[in-house]
Structure formats: structure tokens, C-alpha cells
């Protein structure tokens, strides 16, 4: 049984109006416990709409979503439960932060879960520490923070609910390279220490190649491909056809191969590239 599954999931914005847009068209995906899933696809392909269904925020126009085999819309209490078990961090942190202080924003989820004041306080401090928000920042207004800090507060607000499935919609967009590395390390660490499932919507193929155990490619409201990093990036021409790219390091190795160097094209991370070059050079030394 899948941990999280969609069955013929369809969603139409503005259904019944002349402006209707089919944002999801018959989506079937399966996510297993502990998976690190990357959802990729061009802008407007339906990624944000899809993840907003996975925690029950949007209700399908058609089709079903199952969490551990149970339809998340089967009852009010099931839906309520799903919102805490599947934590969603929005694409734009501004949509998620609305309280007067950082503390209250991080406490929002645990408060709604009905935890005691002591438990809430513990959760807030633990989550803030986890994402690197210092104590003195807790009394600040979230609107006085930098882009990177806002993002971290938004992530802390979801982590504080200790979700079994953590979903992050483009968590590194708009950040500088160092800010991006920090957020990615944090997410990687969350998965490794908790063993929980993580789903990331990402634009960065380089990041996807480094972390994902499973990749879902969206194109025009449909799932175009699913598979491992190898399965997906092997199809470099197809990815380009649907407005995506392969990791930069893969492009380098494709070019090297075109120029006649006997290197593998299946190089998706800098580390793999390093090993491949080492193999090539050591090989040529031995042959000489």
C-alpha cells in the first residue's frame, strides 16, 4: 500500500465559468514512506495545484487522494488529521506568514492541533532552533525579516507540526547560493534524522539530481514521466522539448562525449563527474 497516492486526480479552476483552466488532468502518483520526491515541470504545469491537494487544502474536481489507504476527504476528522500529518510549505512564504510575531507564526499549527501551552512552546523552540532562527528573532514581526529568514520561519511553522510527510513548494527560489545550500541541507537533514517522507517542488535540476530518490515530471496538467534520477535525466532531449533542462554537469558530459571523449553521459552530480574524469585520466595514464 502506498503512503500517499492520487487516483485519477483532476482539478479545474473556475469550473463552470468561461475562464475554466484544467490545472490537473487525471493524475496518478504513488509515494512510499521515506521517499525523497522531486516534482519538476515548467511554470504553469500544475505543480503547486498538485501539492495543495496532497494535504487536502484543495478539493479535487474529480478523483481521490489516499493517505495510508484512506481517502483524505472521507470525513471532516480525516481531513483535519491529514492537514497535520502532511505539512505543506507554500511557494511564497508571504502567503503563509500573517501573525504579529515569528513565535506566533511558528506556533499556529501546534496551537490548532490542540497541544498544551508547554508542548506548543517546546515545539516552537525546537523548530526555530532546527531551522537556525535565534531566540531573539521570535518576538520580531515576520515582515521585518529577509527573504531567507522568512523562508526559514515558514519551514519552521510546518516542521513544528512534526508532519510525517513534509512538502516544500520551491523552497529555494529567490535565495542566493548560500541561502539555497542552507535550506537544502536542512531539508536533507530533516529527512535523514526523522526518516519522514519529503516532497520538493523544484526548478533546479542540479538540486534534484543530488537529493531525489524519485522524480515526477509534470507537463501541461499531466504527469509526463516518473522514475529515478537516472530514468529522468537520461531523456535529455525529451526534457528540453517540454521546457526543462538536465543538470549543468550532465550538459558538460554530453558535450565531452560529442567531442569524442569516452565518458559516460549518465553523470548527474558534480561528484559523479569528478569520479568519471578521474576514471578517464587514470585510464589514460595506465594505457600510456
Ligand X SMILES: Nc1ncnc2c1ncn2[C@@H]1O[C@H](COP(=O)(O)OP(=O)(O)O)[C@@H](O)[C@H]1O
Binding site for Mg ion (CB under 5 A): 47-48, 91
- Cβ proximity to Mg ion: between 12 and 133 the closer is 12
Q: What is the smallest separation between the CB atom of 46 and ligand X, expressed in angstroms?
A: 5
- Buried b / exposed e along 32-53 (16+ C-beta atoms within 10 A): eeebbbbbbbeeebbbbbbbbb
Stretch that binds ligand X, among 42-50, 154-162, 181-189, 232-240 (CB under 6 A): 42-50
Nearer to ligand X (CB atom), residue 23 or residue 88: 23
Residue 79 CA to chain centroid, in angstroms?
21
Binding of residue 46 to ligand X (CB under 6 A) = yes
Contact assessment for residue 140 and residue 101, using Cβ atoms and an 8 Å cutoff: yes
Residue 273 contact among Mg ion, ligand X, none, beta carbon within 5 to 8 Å by kind: none
Could you tell me which residues are beta bridge partners of residue 10? 62
202: contact with ligand X by CB under 6 A:
no
21 binds ligand X per the rule CB under 6 A: yes
Cα separation of 67 and 118, whole Å?
A: 30
d(CA 212, CA 209): 6
Instruction: Provide the grid cell at 181.
Output: 545550500
Q: How far is the CB of 277 from ligand X (least distance, A)?
A: 35
- Shortest Å, Cβ 35 to ligand X: 20
**Least distance from C-beta 195 to ligand X, angstroms?**
28
21 binds, among ligand X, Mg ion, none (CB under 5 to 8 A by kind): ligand X
**Closest C-alpha among 51, 166, 31, 49 to residue 109:** 166
Does 41 interact with ligand X (rule: CB under 6 A)?
Answer: yes
Indicate whether 55 belongs to the interface with ligand X (CB under 6 A).
no
Does 174 interact with ligand X (rule: CB under 6 A)?
no
Shortest separation between residue 168's beta carbon and ligand X, angstroms: 13
Closest residue by Cα to residue 154 from 113, 115, 186 = 186
From the CB of 198, what's the least distance to ligand X, in Å?
A: 18
Spell out the long-range contacts of 131-140 with Cβ–Cβ below 8 A and sequence spacing 24 or more: 131/155, 131/156, 131/159, 131/186, 132/182, 132/186, 133/102, 133/106, 137/102, 138/101, 138/102, 138/103, 138/106, 139/101, 139/102, 139/103, 140/101, 140/102
Instruction: Please identify, among the stretches 39-47, 57-65, 108-116, 243-251, the one whose residues bind ligand X according to the rule CB under 6 A.
Output: 39-47
Distance in angstroms (rounded) separating the CA atoms of residues 127 and 190: 11
Which C-beta is closer to ligand X: that of 127 or that of 223? 223
Residues that bind ligand X (CB under 6 A): 13-14, 21, 23, 41, 43-49
Amino acid at each position: 500500500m502506498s503512503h500517499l497516492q492520487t487516483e485519477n486526480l483532476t482539478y479545474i479552476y473556475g469550473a463552470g465559468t468561461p475562464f475554466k483552466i484544467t490545472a490537473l488532468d487525471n493524475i496518478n502518483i504513488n509515494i512510499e514512506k521515506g521517499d525523497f520526491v522531486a516534482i519538476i515541470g515548467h511554470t504553469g504545469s500544475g505543480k503547486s495545484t498538485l501539492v495543495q491537494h496532497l494535504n487536502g487544502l484543495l478539493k479535487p474536481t474529480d478523483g481521490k487522494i489516499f493517505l495510508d489507504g484512506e481517502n483524505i476527504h472521507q470525513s471532516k476528522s480525516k481531513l483535519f488529521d491529514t492537514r497535520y500529518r502532511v505539512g505543506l510549505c507554500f511557494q511564497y512564504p508571504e502567503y503563509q506568514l500573517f501573525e504579529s510575531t515569528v513565535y506566533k507564526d511558528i506556533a499556529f499549527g501546534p496551537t490548532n492541533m490542540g497541544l498544551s501551552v508547554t508542548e506548543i512552546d517546546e515545539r516552537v523552540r525546537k523548530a526555530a532552533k532546527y531551522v537556525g532562527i535565534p531566540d531573539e528573532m521570535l518576538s520580531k514581526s515576520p515582515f521585518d525579516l529577509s527573504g531567507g529568514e522568512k523562508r526559514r520561519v515558514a519551514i519552521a511553522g510546518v516542521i513544528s507540526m512534526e508532519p510525517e510527510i513534509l512538502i516544500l513548494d520551491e523552497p529555494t527560489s529567490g535565495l542566493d547560493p548560500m541561502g539555497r545550500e542552507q535550506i537544502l541541507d536542512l531539508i536533507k537533514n530533516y529527512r535523514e534524522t526523522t526518516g519522514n517522507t519529503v516532497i520538493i517542488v523544484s526548478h533546479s535540476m542540479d538540486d534534484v539530481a543530488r537529493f531525489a530518490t524519485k522524480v515526477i515530471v509534470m507537463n501541461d496538467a499531466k504527469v509526463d514521466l516518473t522514475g529515478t534520477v537516472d530514468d529522468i535525466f537520461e531523456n535529455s532531449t525529451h526534457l528540453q522539448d517540454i521546457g526543462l533542462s538536465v543538470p549543468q554537469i550532465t550538459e558538460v558530459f554530453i558535450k565531452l562525449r560529442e567531442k569524442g571523449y569516452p565518458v559516460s553521459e549518465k553523470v548527474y552530480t558534480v561528484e559523479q563527474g569528478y569520479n568519471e574524469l578521474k576514471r578517464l585520466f587514470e585510464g589514460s595514464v595506465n594505457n600510456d
